[in-house]
Amino acid sequence: MSTETVIAFIEQRENEIKKASLEALSVCVKLADKSNKKSIAVLVGGTFDSYDKISATGVRKIIHVTSPELNLYSASAYAEIFANICKEETATLVFFANTLLGKDLAPRISVRLEAGIGMDCVDLTSEGQEFIATRPIFAGKALQQFQVLTKIKIFSLRPNVFPVVTPGSSPDLETVRKDSANNNLAIKVSELKKASGKMDVSEADIIVSGGRGMKGPEHFPLIETLADTLGAAVGASRAVVDAGWRPHGEQVGQTGKTVSPTLYFACGISGAIQHLAGMSSSKFIVAINKDKDAPIFSVADYGIVGDLFEILPLLTEEIKRVKS
């Protein structure tokens, strides 16, 4: 076996391991096995009794760096710790999940490792030492296919695109736990403010979005009830965010969040190019709009042309009925 390794950064928040990190780790393990290199999962912060979720991917080594100071994100400390591990382990290939933490950290690591980097990749194929990666640009209006030219290569993978693969724990799994002192806390998260228990569009498997066709913020309970029934997140068009009907964290589109859930409902949304850019890579799209010529129908798998004030309550009832 080569002494070179393939490493995935595993993100935890409040001791919860991100699913997107397990997706990145699954790619890491697959490519490591293929090139006869050791796969390593690196976790910073948090307190864990078991690493079951991580080991289930078949990874060969888990490195967990702990300190109470590191439970919340510190860009400076995480960058230093993770880049040093990559160097010690002679990583040639490094993976991140393109979450908000991954987006923040990965470019810092690329400078420290003198590695070329591809952000937000949605496809990665390998031929021997060569990798061809694909990433959406212009919020998905086009795609770019590229190679990374440096010896060490970093790829940050878009969440919800690559599957989590769990062949089971590797028989020679090695687990290392290190306490970390003298952390560089020049940049430090001092507090986590959670939006009141709501699911975020960027992490949701189903999204129900409302646009100007909702006529006013007082009608959004129609959207929220459907979302609750489905266990979905609530999204919004920019028009309703700018009007102050919804918080900007819910905005989907080129200047909001780019999402690719399994199922996306667009209710009273016309489908402006900036909105489509952020959601057209969803696996299934349902459009409800009273205008049969609305551009949203050009990307929809299923559409209903009609008044959403009549359709949404019927839809919520029918889904409840089917689910029970």
Partner 1 sequence: MNIGVCISHVPDTASKIKLSEDHSGIDYTGVPFIINPYDEFAMEEALKTKEKSGGTTYALSLGKDTVKESLRKALATGIDEAVHIKTELELDSFSVAKNLAEEIKALNLELLFLGKQSVDFDSGSVGQMLSELLGMNCITNCVSLEINGTEIKAEREIEGGREVVVTALPAIITAQKGLNEPRYASLKGIMAAKKKTIAEKEAVFTDSRINVLKYLSPQGKSSGKILGSDAGGVKELVRLLKEEAKVL
What one-character DSSP code corresponds to residue 107? Answer: H
Q: Which does 291 bind (CB under 5 to 8 A by kind): partner 1, ligand FAD, none?
A: ligand FAD
Q: Which does 189 bind (CB under 5 to 8 A by kind): partner 1, ligand FAD, none?
A: partner 1
Choosing from 14, 228, 301, 307, the residue that interacts with ligand FAD (CB under 6 A) is 307
The stretch among 43-51, 149-157, 227-235, 305-313 that binds ligand FAD (CB under 6 A) is 305-313
How many residues would you count in the chain?
324
Q: How many CB atoms lie within 10 A of CB 113?
A: 21
Q: Which does 181 bind (CB under 5 to 8 A by kind): ligand FAD, partner 1, none?
A: none
Residue by residue, DSSP assigns 214-227 as G-SGGGTHHHHHHH
Q: Which residue has the tokens 């009141």?
A: 196
Q: Name the residue among 1, 84, 5, 4 with its Cα closest to residue 44.
A: 84
Rounded (5°) CA angle 157-163-169: 105
With contact defined as beta carbons under 8 Å apart, do 94 and 7 qualify? yes
Choosing from 18, 38, 153, 275, the residue that interacts with ligand FAD (CB under 6 A) is 275
Q: How many CB atoms lie within 10 A of CB 126?
A: 15
Q: How far is CA 320 from CA 187, 207, 240, 314, in A?
A: 47, 17, 27, 10
304 contacts ligand FAD (rule: CB under 6 A) = no
From residue 185 to residue 224, what is the string marking binding to ligand FAD with x (rule CB under 6 A)?
Answer: --------------------------xxx-----------
In the bound state with partner 1, the residue whose beta carbon lies nearer, of 62 and 77, is 77
In the bound state with partner 1, the residue whose beta carbon lies nearer, of 11 and 58, is 11
Under the rule (CB under 6 A), what is the footprint of ligand FAD?
211-213, 237-240, 251-256, 268-270, 272, 274-275, 278, 288-291, 294, 307-309
